[in-house]
């Protein structure tokens, strides 16, 4: 019989994993089939990975759908050597699940999220709310606050946005993002793209690219047309990557921050 941890405290394993019991009811599905139905999930943070994932007691997993992996994805998760393929309706999802070597997590199975890596379970729910990309971190805040600051945005020396009614989005571990009303943005300098991203805190974003000829990353501007309720104040407002544009706030120029997005933006830069 498994003893489920109840104490709410982050613990560390010798392998460098951080983990914490969660009180949320979590379900994971592949299509219409529920593969995980857990009231005792554990949040796990791997070294060097900024977002958590879930691991679940075996008793709350459909192990009858798991097969020993034909081509184990060793090296993809901290110290893990046991991987499983998910077989469902004749379809095989390779390396959809795995176990961690940490003794603290013995008897638990973790799953990939399709929306994050392109394999694994494709629908996830906390209580009755569907969540996307990865679990939300209980130690992270995301606050969208209306402001009267004067914000100017330039791209390659050209003024693209000028507002005194931004919404500032404060997200733990990231620079402040300045969301600007469309009326205060020179939309003729931007072109919409078919790029979209998902965020478990904010929702699904649409993107624009810069029309100019400078070496500027693609998809440098985004908006949330239907944001999650917690950040509803940013609905239809436009934000720019601080990492790749020049932003002035109340007359003071901001340094371009180095973030997890910096490298990806550099790789997207087009002539």
Mean pLDDT, rounded, for 84-111:
94
Q: What is the mean pLDDT of the chain?
A: 92
Domain co-membership, 84 together with 181: no
In a domain? residue 5: no
Looking at the chain, the whole-number percentage of residues with pLDDT higher than 70 is: 96
CA pseudo-torsion sign 135, 138, 140, 144: positive
What is the reported pLDDT for 252? 97
Q: Is residue 1 part of a domain?
A: no
CA atoms within 13 A on the CB side of 74: 7
Assign residue 124 the CATH number of its domain: 2.170.150.40
42: tokens are 């554990």
Structural domain boundaries enclosing 22: 11-131
Query: In sequence order, what E strands does 53-202 have?
Result: 53-57, 66-68, 82-88, 91-99, 108-111, 123-126, 129-131, 142-146, 151-155, 158-163, 167-171, 177-179, 190-199
Q: Residue 98 domain-assigned?
A: yes
Which tokens in the block code for residue 244? 């790749």
The C-alpha atoms of residue 217 and residue 163 are separated, in whole angstroms, by 23
Whole-number pLDDT of residue 5: 47
CA distance 145 to 142: 10
The average pLDDT across 43-61 equals 95
Is it the case that residue 117 has pLDDT exceeding 50? yes
User: Looking at beta carbons, which pairs linking 207-212 to residues 24 or more positions away fall under 8 Å?
Assistant: 208/238, 210/155, 210/156, 212/155, 212/156, 212/158
């Amino acid at each position: 019989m498994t003893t489920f941890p109840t104490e709410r405290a982050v613990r560390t394993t010798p392998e460098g994993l951080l983990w914490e019991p969660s009180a949320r009811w979590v379900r994971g599905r592949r299509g219409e089939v529920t593969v995980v139905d857990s009231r005792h999930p554990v949040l796990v943070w791997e070294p060097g990975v900024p977002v958590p994932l879930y691991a679940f007691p075996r008793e709350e997993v459909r192990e009858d759908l798991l097969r020993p992996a034909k081509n184990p994805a060793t090296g993809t998760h901290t110290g893990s050597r046991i991987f499983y393929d998910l077989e469902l309706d004749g379809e095989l999802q390779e390396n959809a699940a795995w176990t961690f070597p940490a003794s603290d997590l013995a008897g638990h199975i973790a799953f990939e999220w399709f929306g994050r890596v392109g394999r694994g379970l494709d629908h996830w729910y906390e209580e009755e709310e569907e969540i996307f990309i990865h679990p939300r971190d209980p130690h992270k805040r995301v606050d969208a606050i209306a402001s009267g600051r004067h914000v100017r945005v330039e791209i390659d020396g050209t003024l693209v946005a000028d507002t005194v009614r931004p919404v500032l989005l404060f997200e733990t571990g990231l620079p402040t993002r300045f969301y600007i009303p469309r009326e205060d943005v020179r939309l003729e300098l931007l072109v919409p793209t078919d790029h979209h991203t998902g965020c478990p805190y904010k929702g699904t974003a649409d993107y624009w690219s810069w029309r100019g000829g400078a070496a500027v990353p693609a998809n440098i501007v985004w908006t949330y047309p239907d944001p999650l309720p917690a950040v509803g104040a940013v609905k239809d407002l436009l934000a720019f990557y601080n990492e790749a544009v020049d932003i002035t706030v109340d007359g003071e120029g901001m340094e371009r921050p180095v973030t997890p997005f910096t490298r990806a933006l550099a790789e997207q830069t087009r002539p």
